[in-house]
Amino acid sequence: MHDLNTLWTIQYDGTEYNGWQRQPVQKGVKTIEGTLEEVLSIITQRKVEMIGQGRTDAGVHALGQTAHCAIERGTNLGQLMYSANQMLPDDIRVVSVQEVDPDTHARFDATTRTYEYHITTQPHVLKQRFAMFAPWLDDDSIDRLKNMAVAIQGVDDFAKFAKMDEDTGTRCAIVKAEWIWSNPDLVFRVEANRFLRHMVRRLVGTMIDFASMEEGDRLFECFLDPSKATAKERSSIQKNATTAEAKGLVLTHVKYIAIKNPHRKDS
C-alpha cells in the first residue's frame, strides 16, 4: 500500500539556524528542514524526507513555509502534528498537515510566494531580532520607497539582484510590491511567481540606499534600466545591489491554485 503524500505548513524563527535546507552532517550546523526530518523520523520510526517549496537563507524567518513528505498510510495526521510540536524546539512550529494527491509537489505546484521585509525607525527591544533598524528614514524617503515599489512591478529580469552563480535564469514575475508605513514601522511586501536567492534582501537594501538621495526614486529607475539615465545620472548610480540583513525577512505565504485532497468530493 502506498504512503500518504502530505503537505505541511511551518512557522519558524530562523535566527539560530543555517537556513531551511538540510546540510551534510556537520557538527553545530542546524537547519529547519534537518530539524523537522530528525523529529519526524523519531516519531514515525522511519526515515522522513521533506521537500520544501524553496529555501530560506540563514537568519530568515517564516510564517508560511510549505513542504511535502511521505507518511505511512493510516497515520493520524492530527496526532502526528501534535507530537511533532511537542518535540520541536520553541522556534519551530507546524501549523497544519494535510493529505494531498500523490503527485502534489510543494515547489512545482506553488504559483506565488509572498515575503515581507520589516524595518523599524525607533529602537525596540522586542523587534531587534526581526526588523532592520533604520532611524534615518523620513516621510520623503518613504515616499521614494513607495515609488520604487511601483517601478519594480514593470521589471521581468532581475539579473541585477542575482548571485553570480544563479543557474535557473533571472526572470521573475512580480504580482504585487508595496511599502506599508505605520509609524514607526515600515514593511515591504512582495509577491512573485519565484524569487532568486537573496533577491528580496537585495531589492530592499538597494531601495534603502536610493531612498536617502534627492530624486532617489528616479535614480533607482535608472539603476533598473541604465538606458533611461542621463550622463549626469549615470555618475550617481551605484553599480551593484546592496543586500539588506537577513533578520528582517519573513516568508509569509505560499499560494497554490488548488491543493487536491483525495477525500474531498470537490477536489
Q: So which residues are the catalytic ones? A: 57
Q: Which amino acid is at 42?
A: I
CA torsion sign for 43, 44, 46, 52 is: negative
Among 85, 80, 204, which Cα is nearest to 145's?
Answer: 204
CA torsion sign for 166, 168, 170, 173 is: negative
The DSSP secondary-structure symbol of 210 reads H
Among 254, 247, 262, which Cα is nearest to 52's?
Answer: 254
Cα 231 to the center of its chain, rounded Å: 37
- Cα-flanking dihedrals φ and ψ of residue 220, to 5°? -65, -40
- The conformational region for residue 41 under phi > 0 = left, psi -120 to 50 = alpha, else beta, is alpha
- Could you identify the residue written with the cell 485532497? 261
User: CA-CA distance, 83 to 43, in Å (whole number)?
Assistant: 7
Alpha helices for the chain (secondary structure H):
32-44, 77-87, 139-152, 199-211, 216-224, 231-236
Contact 251, 64 (CB under 8 A): yes
